Amino acid sequence: MSAAAIDLNGAMQLQYEIEQFLYREAALLDERRFTEWLDLLDPELEYWMPVRSTRSMGDEANEFAKLGEGAFYDDDKASMEQRVRKLYTGFAWAEDPPSRTRHNVLNVRITDRSDGLVTLECNFLVVRTRLANDNDMWSGLRRDVLREGAGGYTIVKRHLFLDHVSLDSKNLSSFF
């Protein structure tokens, strides 16, 4: 077997493992198993979804706000735990009755594996319906850093770059 073929086998195995992890994670969110989902978030989590603006060609560097500027999500593990705790208080009106979501993880590209960390990019397409007539769809690019541990992967970084400037949604009470 050639060296190239061995590398391909290794790459395919990693791709398979990572995709299966991401699909299982997405299923936890769709099944509203939020407490189990929290277990996948690393204690060092950086969960970030910057806001975006329309810029002229040549000014693309200013399209996305930077870390420390305006963001839809600017969270860590502790604040994500608060968000989940909120859902179970009995008073979380934006999610009670609960939204229905379908989390699609697409075009998964592993870009780096070093020091026990796997870096990847993927596309996300989250569909939400709410009550009888609310329909939302959010898409974008996601950059994840996963930590390989004895018990499986945990999410160290999740950066979410939406395709939208002004969201056509009364709220963003779903997880991504």
Strand pairing class (134-149; 117-130): antiparallel
Q: How far is the CB of 79 from other proteins (least distance, A)?
A: 6
- Give the residue with the Cβ less far from other proteins, 85 or 109: 85
Query: Hey, which residues does 75 pair with through a beta bridge?
Result: 47
Q: What phi and psi values does residue 69 have, to the nearest 5 degrees?
A: -115, -160
The answer to whether the beta carbons of residues 121 and 142 sit under 8 Å apart is yes
Residue closer to other proteins (CB basis): 33 or 66: 66
Complex with other proteins: residue 58 or 151, whichever CB lies closer: 58
Report in angstroms the alpha-carbon separations of 8 from 2, 15, 18: 10, 10, 15
Residue 74 CB, nearest approach to other proteins (Å): 4
Residues ≥6 apart with Cβ < 8 Å to 152: 21
- Return residues touching other proteins (CB under 8 A): 49-51, 53-56, 59, 62, 65-66, 68-75, 79, 82-83, 85-87, 89-94, 165-173
Task: Compute the least distance from the CB of residue 104 to other proteins, in Å.
Answer: 20
Which helix H or strand E contains 158, and what residues bound it? Answer: strand 152-162
CB 137 within 8 A of CB 127: yes
Minimum gap (Å) between residue 156 Cβ and other proteins: 18
Nearer residue to other proteins within complex by CB, 154 or 173: 173
Instruction: In whole angstroms, give the CA distance from residue 29 to residue 24.
Output: 9
Least distance (Å) from other proteins to the CB of residue 11? 35
| Residue 18 or 158 with smaller CB distance to other proteins | 158
